[in-house]
A and B are shown apart, each in its own frame.
Chain A
Amino acid sequence: MADTVAARGRWGTVEWAVDARGRTPAREFYEGLQPDDRAKVDALFGRFAETGKIHNTEKFKKLRAVRGRDLYEFKCFQLRFIGAFAPGFRFLVAHAVRKKKDEHSQADLECGARVLNEHHSRGMP
């Protein structure tokens, strides 16, 4: 599991969800970021792993439920990371996208929910 933990803290962990092909699409997006953007994302994930919450709705907010899953997003300006809480003080990041509009397309939400389902279908917690 060495490759799936984005940040670890006193609350728990922020982890990358693994899809049916064994890939971590959100992490692949993250790895393609420039250092200044990566620092923004890491600061956010690090704080979340420490506290288990982000008060600022400009940085973290609940999205609508898709396929029975409550989805949430981390926001760093145009960078959006979609995921969901998982048992054991974990947050799984499933999908990431760079977008200008505030609202997500249904396709982005479906993609996030699909990767989360695939992650759990692999028998991963």
Chain B
Amino acid sequence: MTTRQPITDFEQFVNSSEENRRLLRQEELILEITESISAVMEAERITQAELARRLGKSKGRVSQLLAGDRNLTLRTISDVCDALGCRPGFQVKYEIPMQHNIRLGGALGFQWTELGTRRLVVHEPERVKGISSPSDELRIAA
């Protein structure tokens, strides 16, 4: 018999309301982007001052962008990536119940990632013929 782990504050917040879940997902996306940029800067040993120079902005502005301020637009992200010699990408992950996910994974070669104990995140695979949406995936698997 397995012991159920106590609920965390993170889980409590994400399950507390739709509005709170949306707020959290927004922040997770901002963090995903600023972390990706920071990881490249770290790997390439590019300082904030150097990035500011390449962008023609102040170091303070770069600091604000990496803090995830409200002006972190898609265009700004693209400019920052270009200054780092990279191209940004975007990935939408479906959240579907675990049992469907496992069947889909087995049947169609999907990758999946465990997210906590209640959800799995499915990474969109290479385009499979006839599949264009999560509902299509479920129909084909059934």
Main DSSP-derived SS at the B contact region: helix
Chain B 27-53: CB-based contact to A (< 8 A → 1; otherwise 0): 110110011011101100000000000
Q: Do A58 and B8 have beta carbons less than 8 Å apart?
A: no
Residues of B within 8 A of A (CB-CB), count: 30
In chain A between 34 and 72, which residues have their CB closer than 8 angstroms to a CB of chain B?
35-36, 38-40, 42-47, 49, 54-59
In chain B between 11 and 35, which residues have their CB closer than 8 angstroms to a CB of chain A?
11, 13-14, 19-20, 23-24, 26-28, 30-31, 34-35
Q: Which residues of B contact A (CB under 8 A)?
A: 5-11, 13-14, 19-20, 23-24, 26-28, 30-31, 34-35, 37-39, 41-42, 63, 66-68, 116
Q: Can you list 30 contacts pairing A with B, beta carbon distance less than 8 Å?
A: A2-B6, A5-B6, A5-B9, A6-B9, A6-B10, A7-B10, A8-B10, A27-B9, A30-B9, A35-B20, A38-B13, A39-B13, A39-B24, A39-B26, A39-B27, A42-B9, A42-B10, A42-B27, A46-B10, A47-B31, A47-B35, A49-B10, A54-B35, A56-B34, A56-B35, A57-B38, A59-B66, A59-B67, A75-B67, A77-B67
